[in-house]
Structure 1
Amino acid sequence: MDLHPVERGAGSLVAPEHPAWQALLRQCPSDSYHQPGYLHACSQAEEGELCIALAEAAGQRMGVPLLLRSLPDGQVGWDACSPYGYPSPLASTDDPTSWRALWEGLRGVLAEYGVIAAFFRLHPLLSTPACLEAAVGVGRLVAHGPTVFMPLEVSEDTLWSGIRSRFRSNINALKRAGWRYQADDWSLLPVFRAIYAETMTRTGAGAFYHFPAAYFEALRDGLGEGASLHAIFDPEGRPASAALFLRHQGIVQYHLGGTASTALAEAPAKLLFHEAALHFRAQGARVLHLGGGLGGREDSLFRFKAGFSKQSATFHSLRMIVDPGRYARLSGLAVSEAGALPSGEGFFPAYRAPGCIAPQQGSRP
């Protein structure tokens, strides 16, 4: 699809560098996941053509990053999904009525460009009640589960007391034993990649999560100081745990990380998260968002993150059927069933489910 800044009706699909998107970034609270450097990195690791979908309604403007994907099995048309992370829609208003008009306007823009269905990842901290309530009118809003965040505009004592007591004991024991934290150092990239790859293999993560080297290099080059690598070394100087953090304005995101198998028993990630929180607090960040469990579940990963803070926010996604007739035909449904999205998470779009049209992976939470 040829992306260009020419307006069509009440909106357009443009590149992340387009002035209208840049204006929204200046006007609205945003995150690393909205920045062109991050989005271009995603385009190296995910299927689809990167764009910003812009819509105008009620005198306001909305924009949202999307990856446009050709329909499977050679069908004419597109579907769309958010890049990995929380690249939620941004709007120049938080008025509920305006949000409803903007969501409808966005659906109209996508329909004009031949998009059949769209999957949106919303933001646990930035997607407002007005945005969420209005989204219900254009699709199926799914609450995946809680994500953990650490407020950083507090005293060190308050930050420390918010950590689970057993975790505090573990952290103190690691410090006494000589485990060492190294902050914000891109020379750690080979260490990080080795530990991350080992962790993904050990946990049975899908192929999607085995990001290529070019992805990490693109994040470094595209986000500059907004992306940083941090690590913990054991008393013998061996790398034990590593993490990639993204920072934009006051929000820090724990993006990816892992722990070496040989260090699992000592749980060095506890020290890593605590030291990183202190590091970003000293830099003036407002919040460290640790995320949630796999697929939004309250699993062991979520419980580990919840050991650092009792504060949480819900991650939502939105499933929008833009063209019910074509969606029904592609999915083998009656047209009357196309709008009846499953109440749970399900597989969306349904026609990308294995065995439906082609064994291609659909959108992931």
Structure 2
Amino acid sequence: MSCSDRLIGVDDPAAWRAALEGVPHSFYASWDCCHAAALNTGLPTQLYVGERDGVRVVCPLSVRQHRGAIDWVTPTGFSGFAANGTWPGFAEHWAAFAKAQGVVCGYIAQHPNFGDGALAGQAAGEETLFFLDLRQGLAGVLAQAETARRKDWQRWQDRGGQFVTDRDTLAAFLLAQYSPFMRRMGAGKAAQWCDEALQALLQSPAVGLMGTADAQGQVLAVILYGWTAWGAEGMLQAALPEGRDHTVALMLGGVRDLSARGIPWFNLGGGVRSGDSVAAAKRRWRPREASFRRLKQTYDPARYAALCAEAGVAADATEGYFPAYYATGSTP
């Protein structure tokens, strides 16, 4: 029984891409996305690759340190473990590998459409994501949605709304308006992408942009999404204040583009908090709902407990930030 483990850095895109070949995975696991995430956070970022008897398991990771203790975290979005087959006992193998690397713990946001519980081990919690089925195209999404959504779409068309697809125009709009939009939305700095990271995302051939304009042709809003053959991820958007009522049209423009590319589903993400107004708005599309698993894994329990004791927090806490020993303001 042959078995190997390795870590590929974002400085080796060819090896990263080769490791993902034949493994169903999210755009969040792609080199394009993880490279941009590394530029955004400044954290060393790697792809774990484990192989045994033709089965390959991958998982993107960013590396953090606190008082000399290493922990792993999902670089951005929802990726986690993905595999091209079944590996019995992988969760134990993974924990042993991580400990051998000197890693104390890890936080992994497991995409619900990839991997399985046998790969990841027990989850510490779950959150809901919303997925649109694109296999019947724009017409199918509209037929599934609530009547109010179809009326919003008709009103946008009646007002002379237009789609904008010129990439240079949309990229310029996004770079100029993303930060002001996020500030108006009350997003903290940690939740935003910096210009360098945005520029990197925009270089990816697997990133799409869709914009909307008013009857006079002024661009008012743009959405950015990334895809693989297995599905698409809605990642970010920006809008002028007068473009807030373009959200439905933006979404449908992305649906039209992705379905034409043969992408089977579109992940709309979840709410900011469980059951909030953001989640309620996404439910009006009547999407498929699935839970992503928040994996809070401890590989070196003794070191983890010691770090928590130093920080004055309970090592067995299951809620709140993980690792618990990161005090406010001390996270990388």
Fold conserved between structures, TM > 0.5: yes
Q: Determine helix, strand or coil for the equivalent of 1:118.
A: strand
Partner of 1:218: 200
1:353 and 2:318 aligned: no
Q: Is the 8 A contact 1:34 1:65 kept in 2?
A: yes
Q: Which runs of 5+ in 2 are unaligned?
A: none
Q: CA deviation at 1:43?
A: 0.5
What is the aligned residue count? 327
Q: What is the SS of the residue equivalent to 1:276?
A: helix
Task: Tell me the residue number matched to 1:270.
Answer: 248
Q: 2:103 aligns with which of 115, 121, 131?
A: 115
Q: Give me the TM-score of the superposition, normalised by structure 2.
A: 0.89
> Which of the numbers 318, 324, 343 marks the counterpart of 2:295?
318
Q: How does 1:33-72 map to 2 (within 5 A)?
A: 33-56=28-51, 60-71=55-66
Cα distance in 2, alignment partners of residues 104 and 133 from structure 1:
10
**Residues 195, 269 of structure 1: alpha-carbon distance in 2 compared, 3 angstrom cutoff:** farther
Alignment equivalent of 1:161, drawn from 143, 160, 177: 143
How far apart are the structure 2 equivalents of 1:282 and 1:134?
33
Question: Do the aligned partners of 1:32 and 1:248 also contact (CA within 8 Å) in 2?
Answer: yes
Structure-2 separation of matches of 1:28 and 1:208? 30
- Residue 255 of structure 1 corresponds to 235
1: CA distance between counterparts of 2:247 and 2:210? 11
Identity fraction in percent? 22
Instruction: State the TM-score, normalizing by the size of structure 1.
Output: 0.82
Cα distance change on mapping 1:68 and 1:277 into 2, 3 Å: same
Deviation (angstroms), 1:27: 2.2
Q: Corresponding residue for 1:142?
A: 125
**Paired residue for 2:261, among 252, 271, 283?**
283
Pairs within 5 Å for 1:293-312:
293-295=271-273, 297-312=274-289
Find the aligned partners of 2:202 and 2:136 in 1 and give their Cα distance: 29
The RMSD of aligned alpha carbons is 2.4
Alpha-carbon deviation of 1:133? 5.0
Letter in 2 for 1:89: F
Q: Give the deviation of 1:126 after TM superposition.
A: 1.9
CA deviations on 1:157-193 (whole Å, 9 max, x unpaired) are: 3322112211211111111111111136143122123
Measured against aligned partners, the alpha-carbon deviations of 1:316-335 in whole angstroms (never above 9, x if no partner) come to 1100111111111111189x
Query: Could you give the per-residue CA deviations for residues 227-256 of structure 1, whole angstroms, max 9, x where no partner exists?
Result: 122111112322222111112114121110
Match of 2:82 among 85, 90, 100: 90
Secondary structure of 1:245 counterpart: strand
Q: d(CA) in 2 for partners of 1:304 and 1:24? A: 37
Gaps of 5+ in 1: 1-8
8 A contact 1:12–1:109 mirrored in 2 = no
Provide Cα deviations, 1:95-139, integer angstroms capped at 9, x if missing partner.
xxx34x212112112111211111101112223xxx2255335xx
Structure 2 vs 1, CA of residues 219 and 310 (structure 1 numbering), >3 Å: closer, same or farther? closer
